[in-house]
Amino acid sequence: MTEARYQDILHQFEALAKDPLQTAKERGAALGKEVIGCAGMYFPEEILHAAGALPTVVLQQNYPISAANAHVQSFMCGYVRSLMDQAIEKKFSFMKALFIKDCCHEIRMIGDLVRFKQADKIRVEMSFFPVTIKKPESQKYIHEEILSLIRRTEELMGVTISREALASSIKVYNEARRRMMELYALRRNNPGIISAVDLSNIAVAGMCIPKEEHSAMVAELIEALREKDMEPIKGKTPVVVTGSLCEVCDRDLLSAIEKSGGVIVDDDLYVGARYYNTLVSETGDPAAALAEAYINRVGPCPTQHDPDNRLGDYIAGIVKNSGAKAVVTAVIKFCEAHYFSNLADQADLEKAGIPQLTVYLDHDASLKGQIETRVQSFLENL
Amino acid sequence: MEEKKAKESKVNRIQSTALISGIMDRFYEDARKSKYVCWCVGACPYEILNGAGIARFQTENLASRISSRQEQVPYIEYAEAHGLGSEVCSYAKINIGQALMMVEGREEELIPERLRVKRPDMVIALNTCPTMIQWAKALVDIFHVPYYFIDAPFFHDEEKGWDRNIAYVKEQLLDGVTDEWIKSVDSLGYDGKAIIAERDALLAKYAG
């Protein structure tokens, strides 16, 4: 495979990730599939896939928020404000429906506002998953919620979702997850083989195109990377990036780290490893498998309460496994769940002797210069 | 200036403010004298605590009591200095700031005597908004005490999930409280039977 082909694949991912909603719209039209949007983290997309739809994860828009400002307070996170903005601007009008997963109080309330204020009146379905995930009652509730989502999707799409169809969709999604984890392992073992911005584009693309297509593209990219001549990077500080819940991590932050003497060797970003790193069991009852995967997902989430696991310990494990020397945590402004969690995570990382920098990201503020300065001084002082 | 002073002197103070202030002072004084105290984050099932004879107060109330006296700034600054983001709910920051002052031995130095409270023997939270759980988790991390979190689903479509959601909360009160929470209460030397009776009366009244 030539260098030109490798670059071509990366450019394809970049083009797909540039406007994820437009990409999903075009893919849906080309494949003759209904597109269903999913907002909020960890929505079990396999259910929508099994019903013959194209699930697309609704991410934040990459332009300033305007219309939503008349409806939503400025002290809500950029993701929910953007969700509202996109709804008002009829960006979801091509969708069959929008599923919103209740993963924090902001998205919980914006869900109802989106439902009532959107101009094109697309169907909005809310879904509640418990915050405490390890109690027997919660586990039962999560299983029931999965069954409720199956029923609602059947009614929406006018189909019956068979056990076999759901099991088959789980396999398709697992394949996409395995490919991405393979790519992550390749980066861990060969720091700098692919830039963090490129990997972010690949992660975004996988949220808006069919998983079958994404797996094939990632497989081709992995083949190209394995053939690539790679000199070991010297003199750069290996870094793990975490956070950016619900949102694509700010590319200015990723670039700033890799331009300031750092190299990102692993991440715990939602639009990154966190979206892809939990496999669903391919044996037994598929609905129960989805519930089980939700409960036992890899990496505790700040929006949930898992008494058995601490996020700080999990991040310390990623650092150890990847040989990183520092952690940069991207916190979306006004993401309260992450603010609280970060208080404990910082203490846990300090105890583990791992230097950490918290960077707050704001949707509409241009923080490029400020981020670069902070990242540079952090890496220089290590 | 004279005119302004005259105007201020004519401001009508609501008499109930002073009365409520006295009630609150007595409430917190009683909690301070109690053998055990539970810090409640969110609207918790107080009846169960009352049944156990455990003093309790709401952390939001404690924070609002401080802020109503315009004394919130040192607590907020203390929490932020420990890494809590500046945009976090200010009630939570006041309360967590106070908790951090208490465990770091700065209570006498930084907290006026009338605003001091007893350390929690347990923490209970109900996620009226998920912030409550995160806030309570932070308190548990600070004090290392037993806790119990109650998950209350949010009702977007009452007709679709009312019964299921009522059943879910009821199960948590029945199973969770007896198995997990009651154990921690028992370990504090209370009569578990009285608590269960209180709980059953509560459930019979509201959940059928």
ipTM (interface predicted TM): 0.83
The span from the CA of A42 to the CA of A100, in Å, is 11
As a whole number, mean pLDDT of residues B133-145 equals: 91
Residue B195 backbone phi and psi in degrees, to 5: -70, -45
Q: A-chain residues within 8 Å CB-CB of B130?
A: 103-105, 108, 131, 303, 336-337
Residues on chain A touching B133 (C-beta within 8 angstroms): 131-132, 305
**Model confidence band, residue A15 (pLDDT cutoffs 50, 70, 90):** very high
> Residues A241-259: pLDDT tens digits?
999 999 999 999 999 999 9
Q: In angstroms, what is the C-alpha Rg of chain B?
A: 20
Backbone φ and ψ for A264, nearest 5 degrees, come out as -80, 120
How many residues are there in chain A? 382
Q: Do A104 and B83 touch (CB under 8 A)?
A: no
Pairing status of strand A326-332 against strand A356-361: parallel
Nearest to A343 among B138, B157, B176 (CB): B138
- The alpha helices in A158-300, defined as continuous H runs, are 163-189, 196-205, 211-227, 251-259, 275-276, 286-295
Q: Read off the pLDDT band of B191 (50, 70, 90).
A: low
pLDDT of residue B193: 67
Please indicate whether, in this complex, the C-beta atoms of B130 and A303 are within 8 angstroms of each other. yes
Residue B130 has pLDDT above 80, yes or no: no
Quick check: B195 pLDDT over 90? no
Contacts of B51 (CB under 8 A, 6+ apart): B194, B195, B197, B198, B199
Q: What is the pLDDT of residue B2?
A: 62
Structure-token pair, residue A224: 């190209």
Distance (Å, whole) CA A9 – CA B150: 48
Using pLDDT thresholds of 50, 70 and 90, give the confidence band for residue A192.
very high
DSSP state of B120: P
CB-CB: which of A138, A342, A347 is closest to B151? A138
Q: How many Cα atoms are found within 13 Å in the side-chain-facing hemisphere of A349?
A: 28
CA distance B114 to B24: 11
Residue carrying structure tokens 């993963």: A103
Distance between CA atoms of residues B33 and A363, nearest Å: 49
What order do you get walking across the sheet with A54-57 strand by strand? A54-57, A35-39, A97-102, A123-128
- Specify the pTM: 0.89
**What confidence score (pLDDT) does residue B5 get?**
62
Contact A98, A126 (CB under 8 A): no
| Helix/strand/coil for B123 | strand
Q: What is the pLDDT of residues A291-348, one digit of tens each?
A: 999 999 999 999 998 888 899 999 999 999 999 999 999 999 999 999 999 999 999 9
A106 with A80: CB under 8 angstroms?
yes
Contact A140 B88 (CB under 8 A): no
Instruction: Determine, for residues B83 and A135 on separate chains, whether the beta-carbon distance falls below 8 Å.
Output: no
